[in-house]
Amino acid sequence: MNWTALHAKVMPSLLAGTSRRGLPSELIRPSSPSSDGALEMLSLMGQALRFERPATPDSFVVEPEIKDERRIIAEGLRRPLVRVLTAKNATEHPARALARAFERLRLRPHPFDLPLIDAFVRSNAERLGPTAQHWAERQKAEAETQSYFDPELLDEGNWAQAAISRRVAYLELRRRDDTDAARALVESTWAQEDADARFRLLQAMQTRLSMADQPFLSALEKDRAPRVRTLAARFLARLGTGVENPAVRACMERIKQSQSGLLRKRTILQLELPANVKDQAAARWILQAFTDVSFGELAGACRLTEKELIDASAKDVSLLLALAFIVTSERRLDLFEAVVAHLPNAWERMFESGLDTLGMMTESERQRWEEIIVQPYRKDLPTIYSLWDWLHRITDAEALPSVMSIALKTKLLMKVPERERGTFPWLEVIAALCPAPQRHELREQLAEFEQSQTVIPLVLLDILEGMENERTHV
């Protein structure tokens, strides 16, 4: 009896049951007179199946070739990295600090660790290089995936193939050097971009926005994505060529203008909040009301210069807050500094508003923005965890040494009530914010805490230093 005969004649009987389909009598060889031979056939069939080799599929997936020029982090950093990112009570602060370091140092996680740190990779794929991007998008349909290309230097030839964050950064640089060339670059690929990429590229166009951009912006009034249309309309309004911005009109209806002074008349502006907006909701309302208003439009509507507008608002904290939002959105840090000079608790007020992005600011701009917002507190930094948590999330950058030195010199961590230190990851957020030159000082302060609280912060500092100084990345 060969395998074919066994499979063809015995298998159907065993599957259906011998009560329905009897075993072929000519094949049965009972091992004893008392046996009907069925169990012998079961064993024989079972053993024959065990010798059957597993079927080889007709074809295999051809894995994409990913050109990843980044170096893989040193072997010794792999385990601590996985531990920090998968710790039971892991917060997002160490993950943010690590993602920034990967991007800045052009390193990448070891491919074998990607499954272990999957959530981190999904959240920070763009910062971790093409291999990580491919991993994060592995379940997307092929048509939706990007090309995984991450060259050391971008130029106009390879710009379109890079990750969107790098493309936006490159576009901004080009806008500063040559606005026309930058616009031409965007126009060349515009039709192939998805809605998110179109919006982010358009945001980058606000750098050195000029009348030469008007035809391109006008064409976007029919864009499929509403947020792209809205942003284009805002830019056109800023150029003075679009229709009047209805948001400006709505805001002006709530701004009361008056004069004061005996010798020299000065304009005083006051924002009247709706009667149903309570104190705690005021910041949130202001953020929403002034989102679509530009500083130039507002100054123009008030017939004031930029500086006069700030001076005129100096006595109204609500209006100052509104101006803080507007200049933040427009990356006018000179004006932001002037506004914060009149609004020393801008940090708390902006936190209350629910502001969750600094828009297109570069990392250095975000750091400077943070410095401006923290400086007024000087030696009296707030010991409210949510403020620091928000500050790190919104800036997504290391603090400038000037900011961290305030925190370290004033021994901020010592001032935090012990009970709160146990509840919130204070040490983690400060470690994630700490710039390299001050890590040593921070370690000295961490040594004064209970060891169980400093495990993650210290490992994070070790990894960051290892990434910066290790020579054995491959």
Partner 1 sequence: MSLTLERIEALAPDQSSLAAARKLLKASSWPTLAEGDGLVWGECHGSGATPYRVAVSEADAGYKCTCPSRKFPCKHALALMWMRAGRSVAFAPATVPDWVKDWLSRRRGASTAAAGNADDEDQPKTRPSMRLTEIPEAGADADPKAEQRAAAARERNRLEREAAMLAGLDDLDTWLSDQVLHGMANFVAQTAQVCRTITQRLVDAKASGLAGRLDALPTRLFTLPGPARPSAAIRELGQVHLISEAYRRASELPELLAADARQAVGWSVTREALLGDPEAMRVDGKWRVFAVISEAQPDRLRRVETWLWRQSGADGAPQCAVLIDFVPISGGAVGGYLVGDQIEAALSFYRSTIPLRAQIAELKTGAEQSKEPFVLPNGTLGASYAMYEHALAQLPWLATFPLSFRSARVRRHEEQLYLHDDESELSLPLQTSLASHALPLAGVGRIDGVGLWNGYEFTLAWAETKLGRWLRP
Which residues contact partner 1 by CB under 8 A?
11, 14-20, 31, 36, 38-47, 49-51, 53-57, 59-61, 63, 66, 72, 75, 79, 83, 87-88, 110-112, 114-116, 118, 135, 138, 450-452, 455
Residue 255 and residue 271 in contact, taking contact as beta carbons nearer than 8 Å? yes
d(CA 255, CA 257): 6
d(CA 81, CA 87): 10
Enter the tokens of residue 304: 């004031």
In this structure, the strands spanning 107-108 and 71-72 are: parallel
Q: Select 67 or 378, whichever has its Cβ closest to partner 1.
A: 67
Q: Select 74 or 384, whichever has its Cβ closest to partner 1.
A: 74
Q: Select 83 or 227, whichever has its Cβ closest to partner 1.
A: 83
Q: Select 80 or 242, whichever has its Cβ closest to partner 1.
A: 80
Shortest Cβ distance from residue 110 to partner 1 (Å)? Answer: 7
Residue 165 falls in which region: left (phi positive, over 0), alpha (psi -120 to 50) or beta: alpha
Which is it for the CA torsion 386, 402, 399, 353, positive or negative?
A: positive
Complete DSSP assignment for 26-48: GG---SSTT--SHHHHHHHHHHH
Collapse the DSSP code of 184 into the 3-class scheme (helix H, G, I; strand E, B; otherwise coil) and give the result: helix
Contacts of 127 (CB under 8 A, 6+ apart): 99, 100, 102, 103, 165
Shortest Cβ distance from residue 473 to partner 1 (Å)? Answer: 13
Shortest Cβ distance from residue 76 to partner 1 (Å)? Answer: 10
Shortest Cβ distance from residue 38 to partner 1 (Å)? Answer: 5
Shortest Cβ distance from residue 19 to partner 1 (Å)? Answer: 5
Which residue type occupies 360?
M
Shortest Cβ distance from residue 105 to partner 1 (Å)? Answer: 19
Q: Select 62 or 143, whichever has its Cβ closest to partner 1.
A: 62
Shortest Cβ distance from residue 320 to partner 1 (Å)? Answer: 45
Q: Select 96 or 134, whichever has its Cβ closest to partner 1.
A: 134
Q: Select 386 or 423, whichever has its Cβ closest to partner 1.
A: 423
Residue 240 falls in which region: left (phi positive, over 0), alpha (psi -120 to 50) or beta: left
